[in-house]
Structure 1
Amino acid sequence: MRDIEIRTKDGTAKAAFVPPASPTARAGVIFYMDAFGPRASLYTMAERLAGQGYAVLVPDLFYRFGAYGPFDAKTAFANEVTGPQIRKMLAETTQEMTMCDSGAFLDALHENGATGPIGAVGYCMGGARALNAAGAWPDRIVAAASFHGGNLASDAPDSPANRAASIKARVYVGSAEVDNSFPPAQSARLAEALRTDGVDHIIENYAGMQHGWCVPDHRAYDEKGAERHWRRLLEFLADTLDG
């Protein structure tokens, strides 16, 4: 893994680039972070993806705020200092910003050897951003996966359900059974939008899991559920990127 800098319309985003285990591999994955930012647990996940033959980019979506963190994913939201800081960065880093940034992320992957098909995967806040990136760059992103992504089918104009018509990628959504940010009504609404617009998709409920179950340092991490997520994600990427 190495640190790189990516020039965007609004500045310079720091990112971690993890080369694929195979030097001849050309497929790439943009890894959209959760609300706690780039950190060791996400880099470990990216390295696992790279071990399967993908070049992986983990960009800092909060780069506009300068230096911050690292945050403790178990306590940061409840902390009187870091909680408001994270909420501010979340509110002020819009979906439109990330969709625009994603063009630069795609270019960075290409410049670092990922000249084949590209996928996107996101967790928490990154879930919606992975799906919206696929809609913003339909000719470049062919697979998009969200795990415990929030507000995927809200009333907001930038909700992925309201942009489904622009998505040409295959889509996988893994939802937690206990997740106030993506309740059953939103799941049904997203499914209907994807069906209506002809998007090849899977929406899978992970019974017994809570929001955040996939990420090792999250308070809701569940090892068994996380391994199930890995099986589904790697199958999905292999079917889409390795064909």
Structure 2
Amino acid sequence: MAGKSAGQWIEIAAADGGTFKGYLAVPASGSGPGIVLLQEIFGVNASMRAVADYYAEEGYVVLAPDLFWRFEPGIELGYGEADFGKAFGYYQRFDVNLAIKDTADALKVLRARPECKGKVGALGFCLGGKLAYLTAARTDVDCAVAYYGVGIEADIGEAKNIKGPIVFHFAELDKFAPAEAREAVKAGFAGRDDAEFYLYPGCDHAFAAPERASFDKPATLMAHSRSIALFRKVLGPHYDLSSLWDRHTELEFATRSAEATMGTMVAEPYVNHIPTMTGGVGYKDLLRFYANHFIPKTPADTKLVPISRTIGADRVVDEMLFCFTHDIEIDWMLPGIPPTGKYVEIPLVAIVRFRGDKLYNEHIYWDQASVLVQIGLLDPAKFPVAGVETAKKLVDEALPSNTLMKRWAESAPN
């Protein structure tokens, strides 16, 4: 989920005596709001540490306490059959009430860290999902996110103690949190507008764990955006994504520097121009693409005409007209097609995802058929496609609709 590890192990003092460890991940900026990350039944393993590093990239100071320390410190299990057996054995020995006290001690340490600035939230998965819920009920965290929490319904009476907003992610096929359990949790928050419930159809328990067979990437991406939306709203940090995107495009189309463009992105970003599947995954490939096949292969008269812009918690959706003269071979849009000298205008949509204050990925969409019509490679008389008309109608809704529908006249009123 994340790039190079940002973390270290630190000591946490327990209020009733003894110490235990926690994995601390700090953002590149050196400070940020806090998140206490609550583990699955497999311990603070590589997967949990990757989640901590991921949220550190998002701008948070993350502390994942080892909540199995009271019977065996430093447990790190994988997801094989033998490890599952061990994990359920540990779960049977686990004292939830002591774990919440340990979490409160971890929160105290997190808030005291010089890197932690401002508010603190809770985030948990599986067992940690229930712990995130109980942490919200029994401590002073400012918000909480619970992924497929197991057994929350057994303690739903504590929902009334939760003062801050909370998000629940549930999987439709999760036998550990079946429909009746999910409905009981929802009923516990009836009448409250600060509790959000999301159900992921066709998904099973642990859908957000890349190492598990149940991993579902689309659901994971959607859930993460919803989680980040809550954390940004309550905790911050607040980034000017619009200006960051403007700076990126300025470096691409005005400054025309591949290296400077890459400087606006995370360590391992990716770009995908959907119609032609051009771009790159990872720093090395994407720099190669920008330096050799995008920036120098974009016509000099290229113009971007803004139509609309939507700003989300972790992304920008830009709608624009993309205008250019096909006077060079455009590797990324028209690979292998010699210049035709034709002028082209097309609607284009860029969906740009950020991780913290850096671009993480770009999905760029346009109508390739319209481009081919406008440069004379596709005959609109033979196919239901249009040329520059798509761009013209985007900015003038009064232009006629349904011109490609030969049967449109048949539905006209008498």
TM-score range, shorter chain: 0.7 to 0.9
In structure 2, distance between residues paired with 1:4 and 1:107: 13
2:18 matched residue in structure 1: 11
Alpha-carbon separation, structure 1, partners of 2:37 and 2:147:
11
Tell whether 2:49 aligns with 1:43.
yes
Equivalent position to 1:53, from 54, 59, 74: 59
2:278 aligns with none
Answer whether contact 1:122 1:145 (CA < 8 A) is retained: yes
Over the matched positions of the two proteins, sequence identity in percent amounts to 24
Confirm or deny that 1:165 pairs with 2:166.
Answer: no
Please show how residues 97-108 of structure 1 align to structure 2 within 5 Å.
97-108=98-109
Give the SS at the match of 1:13.
strand
Quote how far apart the aligned CAs of 1:185 are.
1.2
Aligned partners of 1:71, 1:24: CA distance in 2, in Å?
30
Cα distance in 2 for partners of 1:93, 1:182 equals: 19
Question: How does 1:65-84 map onto structure 2 within 5 Å?
Answer: 65-67=71-73, 69-73=75-79, 75=80, 78-79=81-82, 82-84=83-85
Give the 3 Å change call, closer, same or farther, for CA 24–65 of structure 1 in structure 2.
Answer: closer
Aligned to 1:89: 90
C-alpha displacement at 1:36, in angstroms? 0.9
SS class of match (1:214):
coil
Q: What residue number does 1:204 align with? A: 198
1:98-135 residue CA offsets vs partner (Å, 9 max, x unmatched): 11112211111122232411100100000010110111
Counting only pairs closer than 5 Å after superposition, residues 89-238 of structure 1 correspond to structure 2 as: 89-113=90-114, 114-137=116-139, 140-154=140-154, 159=155, 161-195=156-190, 198=192, 200-238=194-232
Kindly tell me: are residues 131 and 10 of structure 1, through their superposed partners in 2, closer, same or farther at Cα, counting changes over 3 Å? farther
Decide whether aligned partners of structure 1 residues 94 and 69 sit closer, same or farther in structure 2, where only a CA change above 3 A counts: closer
CA distance in 2: counterparts of 1:24 and 1:17, whole angstroms? 12
Q: CA deviation at 1:87?
A: 2.2
Structure 1 partner of 2:370: none
Q: Is the 8 A contact 1:30 1:57 kept in 2?
A: yes
Instruction: Extract unaligned runs of 5+ from structure 1.
Output: none
Return the alpha-carbon distance in structure 1 between the equivalents of residues 64 and 213 of structure 2: 21
Task: Give the AA of the match of 2:106.
Answer: F
SS in 1 for 2:201: strand
Output the TM-score relative to the length of structure 1.
0.88
Structure 2 regions of 5+ residues with no counterpart? 1-6, 239-414
Task: Pick the aligned partner of 1:34 from 29, 37, 40.
Answer: 40
Residue 68 (structure 1) shift: 5.5
Distance 1:55 1:68 in 2: 21
Distance 1:84 1:48, change over 3 A: closer
TM-score, with normalisation over the residues of structure 2?
0.53
Secondary structure of 2:48's counterpart equals helix
CA distance in 1, matches of 2:196, 2:206: 19
Compare 58-67 and 163-172 and name the one that shifted more. Answer: 58-67
Provide the rounded CA distance (Å) in 2 between the counterparts of 1:58 and 1:24: 16
1:240, distance to aligned residue in structure 2 (A):
1.4
Change (3 A) 1:228 1:184: same
Aligned residues: 229
What SS does structure 1 have at the residue aligned with 2:53?
helix
Q: Which amino acid aligns with 2:46?
A: A
**Partner letter of residue 18 of structure 1?**
A
Instruction: Decide which structure has greater helix share.
Output: 1
CA shift at 1:205, angstroms?
0.1
Aligned residues of 1:174 and 1:204 also touching (Cα < 8 A): yes
1:221 partner SS = coil
Q: Could you say what secondary structure the match of 2:42 adopts? A: coil
Q: In 1, Cα distance between the equivalents of 2:73 and 2:181?
A: 34
- RMSD (Å) for aligned C-alpha atoms: 1.8
AA paired with 1:106? L
Which portions of structure 1, spanning 4 or more consecutive aligned residues, are displaced by more than 6 angstroms?
none
Q: Residue 118 of structure 1 aligns to a residue in which SS?
A: strand
Give the superposition deviation at 1:88: 3.0
Question: Distance between the aligned counterparts of 1:199 and 1:136, measured in 2?
Answer: 20
